[in-house]
Amino acid sequence: QQKVQQSPESLSVPEGGMASLNCTSSDRNFQYFWWYRQHSGEGPKALMSIFSDGDKKEGRFTAHLNKASLHVSLHIRDSQPSDSALYFCAARGSALGRLHFGAGTQLIVIP
């Protein structure tokens, strides 16, 4: 069973709209969460990290973490066509532990 599960599998939003991506972990040891973004033909790039409960905002992107429910989300405000990409949630527990990736959410921003 995958330790990190993402929903939805795909999401379409109009340009200027809000995109909300979800991620749930099945491992209570996970302490460190990341969002990665992959444009077609490229490798994934780290978008932002969140390690503490609550919200973390970076520009148009806001991540939210609730460790009690093992849930992390990513909200993209004022979505742009350049935000169209595959978004991965990733999590790890111990300091030397490996990073576990979810299967990804394909975001399409419609001009």
d(CA 4, CA 23): 7
Site map 1..40 versus other proteins, x via CB under 8 A: -x----------------------------xx-x-x----
Does 41 contact other proteins by CB under 8 A?
Answer: yes
Region of 16-24, 61-69, 74-82, 90-98 interacting with other proteins (CB under 8 A): 90-98
In the chain, DSSP assigns E strands to 4-7, 10-14, 19-25, 32-38, 45-50, 54-58, 61-66, 71-76, 85-92, 100-101, 105-110
Site map 54..83 versus other proteins, x via CB under 8 A: ------------------------------
